[in-house]
Amino acid sequence: MAHASRTDLRSLSGTVPFLLAAFAITALATSGSFAQQPPKDLRLVGDHWTAWDPPTDFPEGAQVHIIERGDTLWDLAQRFLGNAYLWPQLWEPNRYILDAHWIYPGDPLLVAIEVAPAEALEELPTDITSTEAGGSEAAALGEDDDWFRVSGRIAQLGTADDIYCSGYIGPADEPFDLFVSGSEYDVQLPVLRRRGQVVRERSRHDAVKRLLNTGDIVYLSEGRDAGLSPGDLFTAVRDLGPVFHPDGGEVFGHFYDYLARLRVLSVQETSAIAEVRQSCKPLEIGATLKPFEPEPIPSERRTPLRPVNQPVAADQLAGAPQIIYAKDRVVTIGQDHVVFLDQGEDQGVFPGDIFTVYRPSLNNHPPVVIGEVAVLSVQPGSATAKILESRYPVFLGDLLDLK
């Protein structure tokens, strides 16, 4: 399994004319956005300058860090979360910071919230009263409703590799304007001459290395004229072809496999030099690129799997999301496998959602509880999920019900 890439950080010191000398801005270069310039509309908030609208009130028990000169989200994630790669989770509860590239000394950063222990939650009253709609689901379940109560510890639902090294289902005609146009290895074989005549010229097909990995230097098809800047991050993707929906066999979209993450080192007018910073799979010349978008790894407090004797009614699964594709096209799917769903953000599916996996039964029997999946990332019409638990092998076409 490939290792998650270290997030690139840099610090920039700027000056507010006539008002402030030597003001430090800390930048986190993680997004694939072409714009790398700091916000220009700074304002005085309290005793410091910032481009954002920082909050002044925080929940009781919250741990707040005041950003200092030289701080980076990378270093703060290592300090408060014990893992620098979790910096997106540090950014997630601080979304007043509109651009993760730039954080300002003096702004507050929410780094932790005191969470009630599972033991305390289990002591909460369980005599849930009926609602006008006929009562809560937990109340209707009867004496075996312990599974419904919140318990356990908060845990990440996946890993960075599950998100950044999997891929996504997108439209078949998704445009990619940028691609890898060459590498340093294209010129590592000599041009052969005999008596002043060229006997053998260089060819890209003769490159000493065709499969590119972490640390390799490549050239991009666009440069400064297209808005690229040093520090821009891109994800290399490969179109693996159509994804057919299990119901009916219609083409649902195309699967785009994540290959690697690249960082622009320098730009020319119509080209750029970049480095492969993280490799999930080898990439070749011609690989298409899209701006890298950092995504927090969802975390939730886990609850037990839904009891096998309390499945939802079959009609409740009408129009439910379905599993339609598996990473690496595996056939026998089970715990820890990454799968892809036929519904996404446009249908109300969001990162952190946990679904029970069902399979319809024969002879009008109730649906069978197969397992549980958690959504890690979403596209407009699809989602990436990870199987948390499975009682039986999971199949393409299995149905999901939000837990």
* Predicted confidence band of residue 12 (pLDDT cuts 50, 70, 90): very low
Residue 152 has pLDDT above 80, yes or no: no
**112 band by pLDDT with thresholds 50, 70 and 90:** confident
The pLDDT assigned to 33 comes to 37
Q: What is the pLDDT of residue 223?
A: 96
Q: What is the mean pLDDT of residues 350-372?
A: 94
Pairwise CA distance, residues 215 & 180, whole Å = 15
Sequence-distant (≥ 6) Cβ neighbours of residue 363 within 8 angstroms: none
Percent of all residues in the chain with a pLDDT value above 70, rounded to a whole number: 75
Band the pLDDT of 114: cuts 50, 70, 90: low
Q: Which amino acid is at 23?
A: F
The reply to whether 300-402 shares the fold of 161-291 is yes
**What is 161-291's CATH topology?**
Thrombin, subunit H (2.40.10)
pLDDT for 363: 87
Q: Where are the domains of the chain?
A: 8-112, 161-291, 300-402
Token pair 């750029």: residue: 272
What are the tens digits of pLDDT across the range 201-231? 445 555 567 899 999 999 999 999 999 999 9
Cα separation values, 362 from 139, 314, 352, 365, Å: 29, 11, 32, 6
CA angle 119, 123, 125 (to 5 degrees): 150
Can you give the pLDDT at residue 191? 56
Cα dist. 66→37, 76, 108, 228 in Å?
Answer: 23, 11, 5, 33
Distance CA 153, CA 121 (A): 11
Higher pLDDT, 2 or 187: 187
Domain 300-402 classification at class level:
mainly beta
Distances (CA, A) of 297 to 92, 155, 159, 192, 272: 10, 10, 7, 52, 31
Q: In this structure, how many other beta carbons lie within 10 angstroms of the beta carbon of residue 377?
A: 27
Looking at the predicted structure, is the pLDDT value of residue 395 above 70?
yes
